[in-house]
Amino acid sequence: MKRRCTNLNDKSYEHYGAVGIKVCKRWLVSFENFYTDMGKKPSSKHSIDRIDGDLGYSPENCRWATAFEQNNNRACVKQFTYNGKTLSMKGWAKEIGMPYKEFYKQMKKVLP
């Protein structure tokens, strides 16, 4: 997180630091501050995720998330809202317990 936002030589810098994604000062100066704010990682399947991809790393904009959750939080993934709940197509398939390919085929029939 810190390296890709601050180190010009990091391979991911162009997608983070170069486009203005920053780490809050509280976390830059101390891992203990980060740990106090975020707590222990829930499992080995979780990593830090920015809720709003246009904003930086801070307590208000970060959460622990699985790869599935992070992939569905990408800007290129279309989100659908039903009854006040917003999920990606894969998220909705998982939510209702339907295989994604079947759900996708059904949705293609009703979506413009």
30: which DSSP letter?
A: -
Any idea what DSSP says for residue 14? G
pLDDT in tens, 55-70: 999 999 999 999 988 9
> Nearest 5 degrees, angle CA 110-CA 112-CA 75?
110
The full set of domain ranges for the chain reads 1-67, 78-112
For position 49, what pLDDT does the model report?
96
pLDDT digit string, tens, across residues 33-91: 999 999 999 999 999 999 998 899 999 999 999 998 898 888 778 888 899 988 888 88
* pTM, to two decimals: 0.72
